[in-house]
Amino acid sequence: MRIEPQFVGTDGTPVGIDALPRPPVFAFRLKPGSLFGVSLFSTVELERLDKGRQLAIDFNAWLEVAARRSLPASDGRVSGGVRISPAETRFAQVSPLVYAQDNDQHDELLGLRSYFEDAGDQSANLIYFDRACKLEGTFHPNSGRRTVTVDIKIAGPGFYLLSYVSGPSQEKYWLVLNPHAEMIRVVTRL
């Protein structure tokens, strides 16, 4: 899968890579037992890419670590109220982080946060599942009025891109399986 880095200011305007204080380093971490951001367990680094390499993900290289480190939901904070069946399904969310390294090779987090977007500019989660399963229910991200409805069938083990699609109002979203995920963006809000 091809990754396109994108940097935006706090107001959403694009920022060129040349305007960054130092060249970026992209890290991808696995959050075991996490569907929507919360993990009760330590993250695991999957891969680091610097600006000199083409940003591409080889999911096959990540499968062994994901299969070994994924976990089932241990409480409602992990799944946000979304039911997963079968209940013993193990999963892990991939989290992108972007760093700038100083001259002594120390990592400094670049920007406020980094996240995935699909080719249609929708926020997305990249999640590993260890088996075929079904996700269903509704959750409320960030304790706001916004609700996200989920009704997804996962075909089998592997990585899946789940995109947030907005409804007629800014308060109603659906989380859907994105079958055409050849390219995703890592957006870093500076």
Give the whole-angstrom CA distance, residue 74 versus residue 47. Answer: 26
Q: Which two tokens stand for residue 70?
A: 């994924």
The residue range of the domain holding 70 is 2-189
Whether residue 119 contacts residue 94, with contact meaning beta carbons closer than 8 Å, is answered with: no
Q: How far apart are CA 102 and CA 33, in angstroms?
A: 33
Q: Which residue has the tokens 């947030």?
A: 164
CB 160 within 8 A of CB 131: no
Q: What is the count of structural domains for the chain?
A: 1
pLDDT at 152: 95
Sequential pLDDT tens for the chain (190 residues): 788 899 999 998 999 988 888 889 999 999 988 887 666 667 888 888 876 555 888 889 999 999 999 988 765 555 667 889 998 999 999 999 999 877 777 788 998 999 999 988 899 999 999 999 999 998 877 656 788 899 999 999 999 999 999 877 777 889 899 876 778 999 999 9
Strands 172-177 and 147-154 come out as parallel
Token reading at 110: 């670049």
Closest CA to 46 of 77, 32, 54: 32
Structure confidence at residue 96 (pLDDT): 94
pLDDT of residue 2: 82
DSSP class per residue in 128-182: EESS-EEEEEEE-GGGSS-EEEEEEEE-SSEEEEEEEEE-SSTTEEEEEE-S--S
